[in-house]
Amino acid sequence: MPDLTLHGYWRSSAAWRVRIALALKGLPYATVAHDLRTGAQAAAAYRACNPQGLVPALDTGEGQEAPLTQSLAIIEWLEETQAQPALLPADPLGRARVRAMAQVIACDVHPLGNLRVLKALRGDLGADEAQVAAWLARWMGDGFAALETMVAQWGGAFAFGDAPGLADCCLVPQIYAARRFGVGLGAYPRLVAIDARCAGLAAFAMAHPAAQADADPS
């Protein structure tokens, strides 16, 4: 596989998903950091890589006009070009279920709590911190409740079955975000257990925000 370069930010949940996938597949990559707090992702040079001005973006090193964008699309590309270890089940029904679990987080939960939305709540709508906290708890809680049920149906040691995969790539960063914002996790014991199990794997430790070169000093 050509040399890979991941554009991201240490605490971005979406970039973190891709880091986990790269680590699970054992793929080396270079990194370029864009500090979301300073608006670095909005710079014209980066928008040439990602017209949305968001992270992540993955330069595949294959000479395309623009890198790949959107975390799930990037991970699907990794799955198609580096099949093992697989992040999706072999059977179509299982693959659809895992994609649905991943999208609960990536499409329905995470977008409502990312930095640009929280800035809009505070700045454009005048929400105070209690209102922001209630907003986060509502949408994370809805997503976690659905995932807890899905894991009860289809999970094993991990979100789906007994090997880490795409759903875990999305779940672990969202659990981190919940703890960061003080969202209670007591109603989701299966999700908490999966997060703890993932934390014991080297790939997840390598991808953790604290292990990134651009992370704030602890």
Residues with Cβ within 8 Å of 55's Cβ and at least 6 positions away in sequence, in order, are 7, 8, 9, 12, 14, 15, 34, 36, 41
CA distance 15 to 153: 28
> Residue 105 pLDDT more than 70?
yes
What is the fold, at CATH topology level, of the domain defined by 5-85?
Glutaredoxin (3.40.30)
Structure token pair of residue 35: 């500090």
Query: What pLDDT digit, counting tens, does each position of 44-83 carry?
Result: 989 988 999 999 999 998 766 679 999 999 999 999 999 9
CATH 1.20.1050.10 occupies which residues in the chain? 92-203
pTM of the model: 0.95
The CA R_g of the chain, rounded to the nearest whole Å, is: 17
pLDDT of residue 65: 64
pLDDT of residue 102: 98
* Range of weakest confidence among 94-103, 113-122, 139-148, 160-169: 113-122
Quote the strand ranges of 36-160, DSSP E.
57-59, 68-69
Report d(CA 98, CA 159) in Å as an integer: 8
- The rounded distance, in Å, linking the Cα atoms of 163 and 179 is 24
In the block, tokens 């906290």 appear at: 133
Give CATH 3.40.30.10 domain extents, the chain. Answer: 5-85
Tell me the CATH class for 92-203: mainly alpha
